Amino acid sequence: MPKAAIAADKLNRWFGVGEARTYAVKEVSFEANWGEMLYIVGPSGSGKTTLLSMISGILRPNSGSVAIDGRDLWSQSDDEIADFRLNTIGFVFQDYHLFPRLTTAENVAIPLILQKRNWGEALSAATQCLKIVDLADKAQLPPTKLSGGEQQRVAIARAIVHQPRILVFDEPTASLDGETGRKIVSFVKAEILTSKRCIIMVTHDSRIFEYSNRIMEMEDGRITGFQQGQTV
């Protein structure tokens, strides 16, 4: 039986101490599979981003476990977890976090640079990825010269340039108009998602629900249900 891409078991994360302790995520268990595009949806403060951080190796849970392709994530050392983020995860942040002082191609090449790949080789691979997102002609521009949609595509190119198996999107359409948002998510599903890849997307943009395989709903730090994407 193939192992799940992500298997979270009884994850808990709280902030504060004593009476001020607040649960951001409480007793959350779920699995995401290879070839699946799983949405995590819910109102603000429902724990979506905290959960996303715990399954992508960014935030250590207070209790519970996360297994990636069968391997326990949080029992590893800090350096191993950093390596896991670098080699296995591709991040698309809500605010993109592109570097304004670098060119678009250099921005995309950053994960390869962190992997200590040759600078020229990294730029070449980055340019290839920019072709995939249809931005090859903007490779030498700084990201500040690009539109919001173009910046989002640069962020996607950066997330896939090092061929990660898991892609994590945090509110990818929050800063985009409806049409651009739909185009980008449609593109991600058609071009980026493969049977060997898993995409987790946190969103509350119902306009893009149709592209998901499965939707996990959260409220007050708990999972309240799962639905098939197209049926929502």
Partner 1 sequence: MKQILILAYKLLVNDKGKYFALLVGTTFSVFLIVQMTSSFAGILTKASATVINIGASIWVMDPAATNSVLSNVPMPDYVLDAVRSINGVKYAVPLYSGTALVKLRDGTYQAVSVIGLDDSSLVGRPKLLEGDIDDIFAENGFIVVKDEEFPKLENPKIGTDFELNDYRGVIVGIATVPTGALYGTPTLYTTYYRAITYIPSMRFTISYVLVQPKADSDIPYIKQQVTRLGYLALTNHEYQNAISSYLEYKTSIGTNTLLMTIISFLVGLSICGQTFYTFIIENLEHFGALKAMGAKGRELVYVILFQAGFTALVGYGLGVGLSTLLITAAKLRLPEYTSRLTYTNLSLAFLMVLIIASISGYAGVRRVLRIEPFEIFRG
The residue (of 42 and 111) whose beta carbon lies closer to partner 1 is: 111
The residue (of 110 and 141) whose beta carbon lies closer to partner 1 is: 110
Closest separation in Å from C-beta 119 to partner 1: 6
Looking at the DSSP assignment, which residues form a beta bridge with residue 198? 166
* Three-state helix/strand/coil letters over 38-95: EEEECCCCCCHHHHHHHHCCCCCCCEEEEEECCEECCCCCHHHHHHHHHHHEEEECCC
Q: How far apart are CA 165 and CA 180, in angstroms?
A: 25
The residue (of 102 and 193) whose beta carbon lies closer to partner 1 is: 102
Q: How far apart are CA 15 and CA 125, in angstroms?
A: 40
Summarize as ranges the residues that interact with partner 1 (CB under 8 A): 49-50, 52-53, 58-59, 78-79, 82-87, 89, 91, 93-95, 97, 99, 101-102, 106, 110-111, 113-114, 116-119, 122, 170
Closest separation in Å from C-beta 128 to partner 1: 18
C-alpha gyration radius of the chain: 18
The residue (of 19 and 101) whose beta carbon lies closer to partner 1 is: 101
Closest separation in Å from C-beta 174 to partner 1: 9
| Residues in the chain, total | 232
Supply φ then ψ for residue 228, to 5 degrees: -75, 140
Closest separation in Å from C-beta 1 to partner 1: 30
Closest separation in Å from C-beta 232 to partner 1: 25
The residue (of 205 and 229) whose beta carbon lies closer to partner 1 is: 205
